[in-house]
Amino acid sequence: MKIAVNTRLLLPDKLEGLGRFTHESLKRITQAHPEHQFVFIFDRRYSDEFIYSNNIIPVVASPQARHPLLWYLFFDYGVPLVLRKHQPDLFFSPDGWLSLRSKIPQLPVIHDLNFFHNPQWVDGFARRYYHYFFPRFVKRAERIATVSEFTKQDIVTRFAVSTEKIDVVYNGCSEGFKPVNAITKTQTQVSVAGGAPFFVFLGLVHPRKNLARVINAFSAYRQSESSDIKLVVIGDLKYMTADVRQAYYASDFQKEIIFTGRMSENHLRETIASSEAMIYTSLFEGFGIPILEAMHCEVPVITSNTSSMPEVGGDAALYVNPYSIDSIADALRKIAKEKRLKEKLIEKARKQRQQFSWDTTAKSLWRSIESVSIK
């Protein structure tokens, strides 16, 4: 069997959530199935680190797909040229985009429908693209994979798709996320937070990540408690919004709030593992990989009681109403003061995290691929 794959998000040192999913799953699938051939379709010069095995043919299609108009040109003109040349049995798209101008069977992974629920968070051109094309992608797909039961039901409800057409393929967690020893924890606290303990917030600074309320909640917590805990914000600041700036500049604890920007993967792992808790109180998520990363680092998780996050956290997280500053502040207070609660959450997380692994992801995805190819 020959399988063409959309690999445009395999970018060196820039593997965000969808890129990480693409990398971890494809690495395992291609190496586990040397009897099949894979055509990787990049939108720019590729790195050899993503050519995982000898059964991969790398191809560069044009144009670089980083804007709605370029998305359209890449998937409906660039990709079909590659598909006509290589004649694959299937086009697999780990980030959800499909080619409407190709008639071969296609399998997308749709990670969430946030752009329908919260269109105000999406740029106008991108919003129009999503709203026009994604219903057509769903209709065009031979089969669909998604990363949570929550998103599966969301797709079923919004697009009137049969549940039988959709496979749930959970995300996993990279192997490097694990606890650190006391020496590493102390060294990390010194390098990141001047030697103080800290909560960690991880994610692109984007409206749906809810950072403004987290800053307000942290300020309220510090105002009411005698504590030296700091807040470390890890993530790209490209979508820094006015409400985040306002929350920061209005805080009496600006010096206790540290923006690190992006981190190398090794530094990120050590920082999470050295924190007092992970704050992941997004307003909407299709999955929430940082929840797993904290669980593997044996760090307690504070997360939202909405969308997919309770599905990932199970009974091993402390849940809050993400729209309530008081609810988030109360969770910070509990984590800081109740040692037994932290221990209980970490203990439960050891069991909860076993449900998710990239090996399981790859095997589940391969079953989806096979179920398409036999038709």
Instruction: Kindly state whether residues 279 and 239 are assigned to the same domain.
Output: yes
Beta-strand runs (E) in the chain = 2-6, 37-42, 56-60, 90-93, 106-110, 144-146, 166-168, 198-202, 230-234, 257-261, 277-280, 301-304, 318-320
The verdict on residue 177 lying in a domain is: no
pLDDT at 373: 61
In this structure, how many other beta carbons lie within 10 angstroms of the beta carbon of residue 77?
Answer: 14
Beta-strand runs (E) in 111-256 = 144-146, 166-168, 198-202, 230-234
Say if CB 18 and CB 9 are below 8 A apart. Answer: yes
Instruction: Kindly state whether residues 259 and 323 are assigned to the same domain.
Output: yes
In this structure, how many other beta carbons lie within 10 angstroms of the beta carbon of residue 350?
Answer: 12
- pLDDT (mean) for 21-25: 97
Instruction: Kindly state whether residues 194 and 236 are assigned to the same domain.
Output: yes
Say if CB 217 and CB 336 are below 8 A apart. Answer: no
The verdict on residue 228 lying in a domain is: yes
Residues of the domain holding 134 = 2-172+357-373
- Collapse the DSSP code of 24 into the 3-class scheme (helix H, G, I; strand E, B; otherwise coil) and give the result: helix
Residue with tokens 């408690």: 225
Q: Which two tokens stand for residue 338?
A: 């109740």
For 45-90, the pLDDT digits (tens) are: 999 999 999 999 999 999 999 899 999 999 999 999 999 999 999 9
How many domains, the chain?
2
CA distances from 144 to 208, 278, 364 (A): 25, 31, 12
Instruction: Kindly state whether residues 218 and 159 are assigned to the same domain.
Output: no
For residue 375, pLDDT beyond 60? no
Residue 235, by phi and psi: left (phi above 0), alpha (psi -120 to 50) or beta?
left
Instruction: Kindly state whether residues 89 and 220 are assigned to the same domain.
Output: no
Instruction: Kindly state whether residues 96 and 201 are assigned to the same domain.
Output: no
For 138-178, the pLDDT digits (tens) are: 999 999 999 999 999 999 999 999 999 999 999 999 889 99
For 192-226, the pLDDT digits (tens) are: 999 999 999 998 888 999 999 999 999 999 999 99
Tell me the angle at which helices 124-140 and 149-159 cross, rounded to the nearest 10 degrees: 90
Tell me the angle at which helices 289-296 and 265-273 cross, rounded to the nearest 10 degrees: 70
Nearest Cα to 132, choosing from 144, 117, 116?
116
- CATH number for position 307: 3.40.50.2000
The verdict on residue 122 lying in a domain is: yes
pLDDT at 66: 87
Instruction: Kindly state whether residues 367 and 312 are assigned to the same domain.
Output: no
Burial of 71 (0-12, 13-18, 19+ CB in 10 A): buried
pLDDT at 374: 58
For residue 285, pLDDT beyond 90? yes
Instruction: Kindly state whether residues 225 and 141 are assigned to the same domain.
Output: no
Instruction: Kindly state whether residues 188 and 129 are assigned to the same domain.
Output: no
Q: Which two tokens stand for residue 334?
A: 């509990």
Instruction: Kindly state whether residues 249 and 324 are assigned to the same domain.
Output: yes
